[in-house]
Structure 1
Amino acid sequence: MPFVEVTLVEGRSPQTLRDLISALTHATADTTGAPLASIRVVVREVPSTHWAAGDVTIQERER
């Protein structure tokens, strides 16, 4: 059972997230041969204030 986990900065539309889930599911099935029903996808959204690189949050970088 393949498990795909994606972490993104929040702010995308529900439809965009749904499209991402579908694309990841189908890409996983195509590359691994796993049946669609066995593939799990989790999308985690993180506030831009909770994601940093080099001690600068994404929110700070976007200002």
Structure 2
Amino acid sequence: MPLINVEIMEGRPPEKIEAMMKNVTEAVSESLDAPKENVRVIVHEVPKTHWSIGGTSAENLGR
């Protein structure tokens, strides 16, 4: 049973996350010849205050 963990920065609309989970499921199912019903996708949304880019939190970028 494939288990895929995806970490993304918070702030995307639920429908975008749903679409991504569907696309990841399709890709893994096709790549591994695994039934879609056996593919698990877990999405972790990380707060911008906990996501650093170049040493600066994403929340403070562009300020």
Flag as ranges the 4+ runs of structure 1 deviating above 6 A. Answer: none
Q: Following TM superposition, by how much is the alpha carbon of 1:54 offset from its aligned partner in structure 2, in angstroms?
A: 3.5
Cα offset, 1:22, TM superposition = 0.2
Q: Distance in 2 between matches of 1:17 and 1:54?
A: 25
Q: Displacement of 1:59 after TM fit?
A: 1.1
Give the TM-score, by structure 2 length: 0.91
**Distance between the aligned counterparts of 1:20 and 1:34, measured in 2?**
18
% of aligned pairs identical?
35
Unpaired runs of 5+ residues, structure 1, are none
Q: CA deviation at 1:52?
A: 1.1
Residues 5-50 of structure 1, C-alpha deviations (whole Å, 9 max, x = no match): 1101101111000000000000000111011111000011011001
Residue in 2 that maps onto 1:28: 28
TM-score (norm 1): 0.91
**Corresponding residue of 1:40:** 40
Unaligned runs of 5+ in 2: none
